[in-house]
Amino acid sequence: MQHKAILIFLCCFGILLFACRAIAEGIPPTPNEQTPQEKQPQQHLLDTVTDKVNYASFNTDTFESIIVPQEKAADFIYALNGETIEQGWTPSQKDILLLEERIQAYLETELIDARLMPLSNYQRQYAGANVKEHHLLYGNFFCQSFDVDWRKIPIVVLDGGNCFFHVIYDLKTEDFVLFNINGEG
């Protein structure tokens, strides 16, 4: 448990450093692309994530979500947390249902003090990445999208408290690599 707390702290610290840089400089484009001179960096980033791609909707009785396709996974994950990945993949509904099944148990056993709303209050965005032979499933959970079309644009919020959190689930080890709840502003 202490190891996971340290890992979560380090991840939060890294995200905070990235956020400070993003605020100071504007969010840069992904490393593999050049920003056209006439576009602002933030707009270019949104263009790379949303350009001509339809995300698949996946809804159940308890949640609404979208699935980011393989060809946009790297840009989507970069927009979420600044992480550069080499290979994305498209999560299946089965993968997502596995994460959904595990998340409730994880909250009940590992994050007992987490003050989250009922999971049915959150919409989700899912993307996949292969990192060092691990099949990672990224889940972005949010209770508010601020009039942004969350079915096409990653919802990235600094602070916001328990209305916003994200997870990384390793399908190979069947464990959460990251579980980050936003801080209060």
* pLDDT tens sequence across 153-174: 999 998 899 999 999 999 999 9
pTM exceeding 0.85:
no
pLDDT tens digits, 74-105 = 999 999 989 999 899 999 999 999 999 999 88
Residue 131 has pLDDT above 80, yes or no: yes
Identify which of 10-14, 22-26, 113-117 has the greatest average pLDDT. Answer: 113-117
Give the pair of three-digit tokens for residue 170: 């390793």
Q: Could you tell me the pLDDT band of residue 110, with boundaries at 50, 70 and 90?
A: confident
pLDDT tens digits, 15-69 = 444 444 444 444 444 444 443 433 344 444 455 555 556 799 999 999 999 999 9
Look at residues 105, 93, 101 and name the one whose alpha carbon lies nearest to residue 65: 93
Q: DSSP assignment of the chain, as one string?
A: -HHHHHHHHHHHHHHHHHHHHHHHH-PPPPTTSPPPTTS-HHHHHHHHHHTT-PPEEEE-SS-EEEE--HHHHHHHHHHHH----SEEE---HHHHHHHHHHHHHHHHHT-TT--PPPGGG-EEEEEEEEETTEEEEEEEEES--TT--TTTS----SS-GGGEEEEEEETTTTEEEEEEEPPP-
Mean pLDDT computed over every residue of the chain: 79
| Residues in contact with 5: Cβ distance below 8 Å, sequence separation at least 6, in sequence order | none
